[in-house]
């Protein structure tokens, strides 16, 4: 997802969309490996700490863990589904 796409898309339009992480992500608690499928939960507003996507990994089949990460740069997530079908129906 490009920065321009991110800016013109609302949090409601992004919520529930699926994507793949295209580089390793890490914060102080956890990391998400490149190629991991994620679900976008929304946008983090620009408050202390930056802005970006809020993502959630798919639940691990072996241990049941889900990882949430905020302020993920939109360039780090490749969207899987095309939202053009829903936007075409609103025209």
Whether 16 shows a pLDDT value over 80: the answer reads: yes
3-state helix, strand, coil in the chain (%, to 5): 20, 40, 40
Average pLDDT (48-70) is 86
pLDDT score recorded for residue 83 = 55
Task: Identify whether 23 is part of a domain.
Answer: yes
Q: Rounded to whole angstroms, how far apart are CA atoms 31 and 11?
A: 23
CATH number (domain holding residue 17): 2.30.30
Q: Rounded to whole angstroms, how far apart are CA atoms 61 and 58?
A: 9
Task: Identify whether 28 is part of a domain.
Answer: yes
The rounded radius of gyration (Å) of the Cα atoms in the chain is 13
When the pLDDT of each residue in the chain is averaged and rounded to a whole number, the result is: 84
Closest CA to 1 of 88, 82, 85, 87: 82
Domains in the chain: how many in total?
A: 1
What's the whole-model pTM score?
0.78
pLDDT score recorded for residue 2 = 86
- Confidence band, pLDDT 50/70/90 cuts, at residue 54: very high
44 or 26, which is more confident?
26
Residue-range definition of the domain harbouring residue 40: 3-57+73-80
Task: Identify whether 63 is part of a domain.
Answer: no
Task: Identify whether 42 is part of a domain.
Answer: yes
Average pLDDT (2-10) is 88
């Amino acid at each position: 997802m490009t920065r321009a796409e991110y800016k013109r898309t609302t949090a409601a339009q992004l919520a529930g969309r699926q994507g793949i992480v295209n580089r390793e992500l890490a914060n102080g608690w956890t990391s998400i490996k490149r190629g991991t499928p994620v679900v976008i939960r929304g946008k983090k507003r620009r408050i202390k700490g930056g802005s970006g996507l809020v993502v959630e990994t798919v639940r691990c089949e072996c241990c049941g863990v889900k990882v949430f990460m905020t302020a993920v740069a939109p360039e780090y997530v490749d969207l899987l589904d095309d939202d053009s079908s829903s936007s075409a129906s609103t025209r």
